[in-house]
Amino acid sequence: MKAVISSLLFQQPSIYNCKMGKAHECNSDARGKKNEFSLVRVKTTWKSKLGKKINKNEAECVSPAKIYENITERGSSWTVVSPITFTYKVTETHGLLDPSNDTLLFGHITDPQQLQEIKKSNKLIRRFLVIDQEVFNIYGPKLTEYLKVNNVVYKILALPTNEESKSMETALKILDDVNNFALDRRTEPIIAIGGGVCLDIVGLAASLYRRRTPYIRVPTTLLSYIDASVGAKTGVNFANCKNKLGAYIPPAAALLDLSFIATIPRRHISNGLAEMLKMALMKHQGLFELLEEHGCMLLDTKFQTDSTLYGHSNTDAASQTTRIAITTMLEELAPNLWEDDLNRLVDFGHLISPALEMKVLPSLLHGEAVNIDMSYMVYVSCESGLLTEEEKQRIISCMVGLELPVWNEEFTMELIQKSLQDRLKHSGGLVRMPLPVGLGQAEIFNNTSFDTLHRAYIKWCEELSVSSDSTCDV
């Protein structure tokens, strides 16, 4: 059984020398002659046609792209407006590695007719799979059996994928093996199976191979299930900075199976709950209340719905929390897939945490670093008068209940200042700080004073530092 959560069409205009609006009005020199051309295909060639009205009998196909020509005394210029459409599916399924479930092989195909033609053809199915080494140790035999039963010609590349190996060297290793497999870049998607790091590296490699090869994400951790799998970001670490090299290329499909979560350690469940809590604090009070009430149970049962200990309440909590987290994440990502708008609520917890995470590798997991960042920002909100003391305490108590760290000695004022200065450089000169303004509500702020940040930091250290003799860098 499978349920398609979302099939999304994303359109991103590719516009040169022009911001949003009518491209042919962008040139400040109004004295030139301006022409608008449509593009039509006749047989095997494209031709430009002046004007908006096109005789349908003249063309087999009319492109949504436009060319705007501006002729002045100084010369000519052309502005291209070319909508690019990405379609990808986020699909929940059960028994993804059950040989009778063909979602892993065909779940990325959106056209029913194309799917029927592929299933009827005698062409061999070929797949290149990259899987995290630890995941392969658990699921390797089952995955191999699945591919053999379905008569797939395959290559499985098992690699250690962690923050230390999240590098261009690893991406190039993948590409070398992909090239040797002689992959068809249109009909044979690369399949990535693992946590967020694995999905990020493979996504970047796929975006580079022959400029773009489709790939499929199969998350095996809770964090990647509700975060990395549903977006378009790919990347590797570079120059000791997290995800400094990357591209925005969504997968052909993200295939979600909660049964993978059963085999990950409890700490990694908690790690994923941090990103889920992020969406709750930013967008959905109901999700916050579910985590507040059922967080311990979700940790105990690892989101598995066959538990006899908690019965139906666990089934409902597991399905509700993951569904709400994914839906709210997609709401934020779908209209801003390429991050043209830098005001992003999903950046909550990600202003200071990247620097903290890289500084203390490998002692903190991604979600743990994010939660420490969120914990501090909750204090900033309270000091700014955006949250009540009671709301602040509820949030911190929920974090502790989810077994997440709320303080770290390396999270210093110096690190905060440096991170926010770096953010100014890469966010159009504004800090764009998402802050909760209530449970499940948030806004973006650009004017939080240093005095407020400092007061919040002092109080944060006083109330949450892990030992009484800990000192704060003030």
Catalytic residues: 233
Question: Which pair of tokens denotes residue 58?
Answer: 């003249």
Question: Which pair of tokens denotes residue 279?
Answer: 């969406």
Question: Which pair of tokens denotes residue 211?
Answer: 């400029």
* Distance in angstroms (rounded) separating the CA atoms of residues 4 and 14: 29
Structural contact between residues 254 and 200, judged by C-beta atoms closer than 8 angstroms: no
Structural contact between residues 434 and 282, judged by C-beta atoms closer than 8 angstroms: yes
Please name every residue paired with 102 in a beta bridge, in sequence order, or none if there are none: none
C-beta neighbour count of 189 within 10 angstroms: 22
Question: Which pair of tokens denotes residue 329?
Answer: 């994440």
Q: Which residues of 257-288 are buried (b: 16+ CB within 10 A; e: fewer)?
A: bbbbbeebeeebbbbbbbbbbbbbbbbbeebb
The helix/strand/coil state of 377 is helix
Contacts of residue 236, defined as CB under 8 A and 6 or more positions apart, other chains included, come to 166, 167, 168, 170, 171, 200, 201, 204, 243, 245, 246
* Distance in angstroms (rounded) separating the CA atoms of residues 404 and 273: 9
Instruction: Please tell me what DSSP assigns to residue 232.
Output: -
